[in-house]
């Protein structure tokens, strides 16, 4: 039996696009001699469809697409993910399911049992868990088909009371197939390989696993579909961040022509780079936009975002706006111009001095002679926000936010100023990782100017200002932030590691009191195990740890 895995990039709710892509790949798999082609979890509608799933018409369109796909599935079988209605009144209205289609007919329906409700996942909001399990019979073989999380209830800390495979294995299947929508984070591929390998070893069955690829707003899917033998040895690993279709020949309980290989993960910063480019590219293409604008300060954050945008969209589609204030150094302006020269994007220079001075004069009577402080600094940042949004409105550019994760965490940014934008490109990348990104981008030649990398970070909103005036050193700050955000460690646990108590409590208080800002900022491309956004839900007015 020849089985094809179709690792594809879907578009949520774009049924015509998804259906055509699926049918095209059915035909391609058939042309390559496949007996069965396997598509990803909820492939027909895209993942995560979220509250679209509450619309009856949406579910009806999923079913209509499935019927169209079935008609095209002649002389070959396919497995395709979609939401299906629950005919029982009690319980949720839908199942997260898969159709097994053969020769134009929907022969079997498999339903997902383990519904993740943590981090970015919220499946129990929409779906009823399956409680009945049957293998699929095809060409004299029994297939144990599971959906993503159904294989993750294994090893030291199971989240669920039971596992579908424990039921399916009693029917003596010949092979496991798992269809998934498993989001990217820079360390998730290692965990994924272990979980899948351990399933193959536990049940002594070969395993085929297919994952989606592509970005859906902030969530990025990295592909990396895999094949394992019955001993848990990895036999093949499909590309990351790219679409691909591969056919595997199975004879008895083995895949022909494959010897075990090692999973060799790419360096974290390399996969973060690739994920961010895919995230930008898909955000624009799936939203129907092509051109980006951003403020370019001469600092490292905006330089990185500009470089990534040019790689994702092409430099001809990126507008960098230099907005020097009266406190900006000549060197910062030149650093920004050097970047523009290096990458060839468009640029405008629009000084903000006149606008900021006008606000100062306008507000002077109300401010009653009070001294210059954060208020005037924020006015300058908001002048910049007005300018880049004006460019967006006038020319149809989409504004890229350039705040990094360290700044987002502690609230070091101005609402409606440098925190505005349609998508946060590096809001899940700590400042120390930003420097690593710069080194990676420069590995084949200077793109990010050296001075943007080596000079002390500064917002340049007052004379001689440096980030270090307001924040701890980033090397220390990021380590404490990582412990608190990614590892969910308490202040006492972090202090016990040897960090200064007053510093830890100050940083955690800054994180928590900045929550109201993060609620008002753009979605952030998720590249870590715990990003700000839909996967981290904190109260704004909570007292704990504040």
Which one of the listed residues 30, 41, 149, 218 is annotated catalytic?
41
Nearest CA among 391, 423, 396, 428 for reference residue 283: 423
Is 402 one of the annotated binding-site residues? yes
Annotation says 45 is catalytic: no
Is 378 one of the annotated binding-site residues? yes
Is 299 one of the annotated binding-site residues? yes
| CA distance linking residue 112 with residue 153, whole number of Å | 13
Is 298 one of the annotated binding-site residues? yes
In 195-306 the beta strands, taken as DSSP E runs, fall at: 207-211, 213-216, 219-222, 226-228, 234-237, 244-251, 254-255, 292-295
| CA distance linking residue 106 with residue 509, whole number of Å | 55
Report yes or no: 211 and 221 within 8 Å, Cβ to Cβ: yes
Helices (H), ranges, 329-369: 330-343, 353-367
Annotation says 148 is catalytic: yes
| CA distance linking residue 111 with residue 121, whole number of Å | 17
Contacts of 498 by beta carbon, 8 Å cutoff, 6+ apart? none
Annotation says 41 is catalytic: yes
Helix (H) or strand (E) holding 61: helix 56-72
| CA distance linking residue 429 with residue 269, whole number of Å | 10
Is 370 one of the annotated binding-site residues? no
Is 295 one of the annotated binding-site residues? yes
| CA distance linking residue 111 with residue 546, whole number of Å | 43
Is 416 one of the annotated binding-site residues? no
Is 407 one of the annotated binding-site residues? yes
Is 327 one of the annotated binding-site residues? no
Is 285 one of the annotated binding-site residues? no
Is 517 one of the annotated binding-site residues? yes
CA distances from 441 to 364, 388, 406, 463 (A): 45, 25, 20, 31
Burial class (CB in 10 A: 0-12, 13-18, 19+), 507: buried
Is 296 one of the annotated binding-site residues? yes
Which one of the listed residues 62, 78, 148, 408 is annotated catalytic?
148
Which one of the listed residues 21, 30, 111, 112 is annotated catalytic?
112
| CA distance linking residue 188 with residue 63, whole number of Å | 32
Q: Which residues are catalytic?
A: 41, 112, 148
Annotated binding-site residue numbers for deamido-NAD(+): 378, 407, 517
Q: Which residues are annotated as a binding site for ATP?
A: 295-302, 402
Known binding-site residues equal: 118, 182, 295-302, 378, 402, 407, 517
Residues making up the annotated binding site for L-glutamine are 118, 182
């Amino acid at each position: 039996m020849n089985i094809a895995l179709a690792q594809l990039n879907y578009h949520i709710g774009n049924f015509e696009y998804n259906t055509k892509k699926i049918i095209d790949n059915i035909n391609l798999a058939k042309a390559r001699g496949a007996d069965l082609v396997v598509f990803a979890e909820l492939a027909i509608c895209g993942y995560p469809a979220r509250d679209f799933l509450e619309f009856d018409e949406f579910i009806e369109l999923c079913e209509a697409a499935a019927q169209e796909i079935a008609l095209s599935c002649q002389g070959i079988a396919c497995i395709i993910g979609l939401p299906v209605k629950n005919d029982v009144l009690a319980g949720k209205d839908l199942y997260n399911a898969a159709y097994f289609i053969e020769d134009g007919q929907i022969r079997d329906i498999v339903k997902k049992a383990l519904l993740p409700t943590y981090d970015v996942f919220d499946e129990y909001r929409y779906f009823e868990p399956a409680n009945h399990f049957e293998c699929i019979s095809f060409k004299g073989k029994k297939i144990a088909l599971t959906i993503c999380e159904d294989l993750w209830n294994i090893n030291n800390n199971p989240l669920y009371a039971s596992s579908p495979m424990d039921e399916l294995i009693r029917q003596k299947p010949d092979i496991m197939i798992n269809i998934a929508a498993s989001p990217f984070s820079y360390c998730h591929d290692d965990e994924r390989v272990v979980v899948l390998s351990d399933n193959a070893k536990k049940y002594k069955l070969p395993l085929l696993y297919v994952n989606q690829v592509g970005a859906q707003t902030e969530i990025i899917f990295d592909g990396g579909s895999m094949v394992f033998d019955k001993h848990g040895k990895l036999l093949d690993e499909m590309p990351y961040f790219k679409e691909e279709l591969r056919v595997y020949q199975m004879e008895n309980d083995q895949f022909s022509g494959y010897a075990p290989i090692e999973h060799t993960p790419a360096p974290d910063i390399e996969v973060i780079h690739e994920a961010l480019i895919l995230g930008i590219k898909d955000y624009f293409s799936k939203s129907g936009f092509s051109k980006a604008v951003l403020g370019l300060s001469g600092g490292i954050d905006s330089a990185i975002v500009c470089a990534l945008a040019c790689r994702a969209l092409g430099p001809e589609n990126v507008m960098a706006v230099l907005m020097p204030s009266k406190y900006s150094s000549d060197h910062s302006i030149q650093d920004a111009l050097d970047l523009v020269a290096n990458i060839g994007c468009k640029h405008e220079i629009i000084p903000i001095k006149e606008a900021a001075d006008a606000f100062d004069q306008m507000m002077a009577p109300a401010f009653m002679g009070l001294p210059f402080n954060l208020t005037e600094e924020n006015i300058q940042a908001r002048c910049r926000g007005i300018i880049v949004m004006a460019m967006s409105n006038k020319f149809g550019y989409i504004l890229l936010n350039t705040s990094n994760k360290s700044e987002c965490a502690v609230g070091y940014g101005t609402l409606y100023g440098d925190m505005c934008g349609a998508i946060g490109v590096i809001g899940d990348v700590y400042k120390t990782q930003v420097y690593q990104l710069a080194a990676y981008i420069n590995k084949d030649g200077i793109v990010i100017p050296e001075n943007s990398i080596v000079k002390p970070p500064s917002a340049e909103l007052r004379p001689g200002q440096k980030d270090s005036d307001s924040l701890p050193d980033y090397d220390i700050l990021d380590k404490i932030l990582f412990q608190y955000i990614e590892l969910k460690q308490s202040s006492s646990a972090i202090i016990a590691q040897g960090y200064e108590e007053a510093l830890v409590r100050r940083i955690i208080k800054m994180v928590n009191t900045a929550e109201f800002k993060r609620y008002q900022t753009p979605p952030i491309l998720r590249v870590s195990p715990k990003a700000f956004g839909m996967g981290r839900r904190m109260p704004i007015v909570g007292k704990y740890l504040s």
